[in-house]
Amino acid sequence: MKEISLVIPLKNEEKSIRGLIDSICAQTVLPDEVIFVDGGSSDGTKSIIRKNIDKFLVEMRLIEMKKAYPGEARNAGVAESMHDFIAFTDGGILLDKKWLEELTRPMAKDNAIDVVYGAYEPILDSFIKECSLMGYIPPREKIRGLAFRTNFIASSIFKKCICDNIKGFPSFRAAEDKIFMDKVEKSGAKISYTDKAIVYWQIPGSLKGIFKRFSEFSAHDILAGRARDWHHSVFRTYAALIFFFSMGILLNPLFLWGILAVWVLRLGHMFIKKTKDFKVKFLLDPRYFFGIAFVVLATDMALFCGSLKYLRMYYEKNK
């Protein structure tokens, strides 16, 4: 393997940045440089990084941008990188100590490989986070006989030329990583996967935090032209709910049972998709049924709120 630059976009990560720094320093294979790109933090993120520079056994740099979305920050980090391989992770992440070692192993065995995607797991240290596992965390994918969560930009490594060839990440708050990875695949790059390079992802621990994150993602998903990824299926679900409600009020109250049927079918479909994450306690403890339902409801309401925000942005831009 040639030398590796680790690029990390950040914004207001003072609660998690120390853990990320420690997990970088604990790597069995260290990157040759670490580039933190701050997208306009208003908390102590930047000062914590500066104070921890001496912990690094490799070159560490901090790039400060007044305001930048994660994709824009990654582009700035790649532009400033000195090496031929670019590894990406994010704030709010903890790296397994063998993450970079395992992430680079496929490339070390086959120098024709252009991209490697590792694995990720959510940190489930509260009731709401456990409910989120079933509510919105993507299911494990089966790849080469193994089931794991992958295609996560915060657990990946690319040849720098690949990033340059597809002109980097677009300037969106959400979906920029999916757009980038889709372009990489369409470019004909040779892609490999490993379930052994694991990062641990800190997810929101409250319904308020879930709503705030997903309402922002919702508006930018539409702005990025990715409504098909999430919005369309939710819109169809609520169209069915409105239909049964209307029929129940106008024709026959028995139609109101359709509301319950739609909701149960939706939750049942989620459970089927995530059988590998399923735990018996989700059925035995009724708190989880209601907790998962509330998490799903929070993401749905966030989607509609974000959609309205997008419409307001569109109106103001075109009036």
Mean pLDDT of 20-47: 94
User: What are the extents of the domains in the chain?
Assistant: 4-201, 207-318
pLDDT(30) > 80: yes
Residue pLDDT, tens place only, 203-246: 999 999 999 999 999 999 998 889 888 999 999 999 999 999 99
Specify the pLDDT at position 1.
62
pLDDT(260) > 70: yes
CATH of 4-201, one of 1.10.3720.10, 3.90.550.10, 3.10.20.30, 3.90.226.10: 3.90.550.10
pLDDT(173) > 90: no
Q: Round to the nearest angstrom and report the end-to-end CA distance of the chain.
A: 54
Helices and strands, number each (H, E), in the chain: 12, 10
Amino acid at site 273: K
Q: Which residues have CB under 8 Å from 109's CB, separation 6+? A: none
pLDDT(278) > 80: no
Residues above pLDDT 70, as percent of the chain: 100
27-31, 93-97, 145-149, 245-249: lowest mean pLDDT where? 145-149
Specify the pLDDT at position 263.
86
Specify the pLDDT at position 14.
93
Specify the pLDDT at position 273.
83
104-113, 138-147, 173-182, 248-257: lowest mean pLDDT where? 138-147
Query: CA 210, 216, 221: angle at the middle one, nearest 5?
Result: 115
> 294 falls in which pLDDT band (50, 70, 90)?
very high
Specify the pLDDT at position 168.
92
Mean pLDDT of 275-285: 80
Specify the pLDDT at position 207.
95
pTM: 0.89
Q: Is 158 exposed, middle or buried (0-12, 13-18, 19+ CB in 10 A)?
A: buried
Cβ contact 135:295 at 8 Å: yes
Rounded Cα gap, residues 111 and 121, in angstroms? 28
pLDDT(283) > 80: no
Mean pLDDT of 142-153: 88
Cβ contact 8:90 at 8 Å: yes
